[in-house]
């Protein structure tokens, strides 16, 4: 590190990103999950009907549920009663980029 007047120059810079928040906020504007938090069923609405399957993913990245989505469908009711309380991600995949949204199971 060197100084010159009122300016400090640092020879190296390290930038880190909180992965959990970037996953939670990645491209989630097209997906609506309600209720959130939920205890047994989540209702999912999405603008784009080109998704072919969804996954419920825990915070370690493990897919707990993975199901196909019928063509032309843009609403889902997903039974989450069998998963433990905690924070999860809903991942929609298909012809477009995958979409992620965070939800809480209570």
Residue ranges covered by each domain of the chain: 19-105
**Cβ atoms of residues 56 and 20 within 8 Å:** no
Sequence length of the chain is 106
Contacts of 24 (CB under 8 A, 6+ apart): 89, 100, 101, 102
How far from chain centre, in Å, is Cα 88? 8
- Which CATH number describes the domain made up of 19-105? 2.60.40.1930
pTM of the model: 0.70
What does each C-alpha distance from 29 to 10, 46, 51, 99 come to in angstroms? 38, 9, 15, 9
Question: Across all residues in the chain, what is the average pLDDT?
Answer: 80
Tens digits of per-residue pLDDT, 91-100?
999 877 888 9
Instruction: Look at residue 25 and tell me whether its pLDDT is greater than 80.
Output: no
């Amino acid at each position: 590190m060197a100084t010159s007047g009122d300016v400090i120059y640092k020879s190296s810079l390290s930038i880190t990103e909180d992965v959990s928040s970037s996953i939670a906020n990645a491209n989630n504007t097209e997906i609506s999950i309600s209720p959130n938090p939920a205890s047994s069923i989540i209702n999912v609405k999405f603008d784009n009907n080109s998704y072919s399957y969804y996954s419920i993913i825990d915070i370690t990245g493990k897919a707990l549920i993975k199901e196909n989505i019928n063509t032309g469908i843009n609403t889902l009711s997903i039974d989450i009663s069998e998963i433990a309380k905690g924070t999860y991600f809903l991942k929609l995949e298909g012809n477009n980029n995958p979409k992620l949204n965070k939800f809480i199971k209570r």
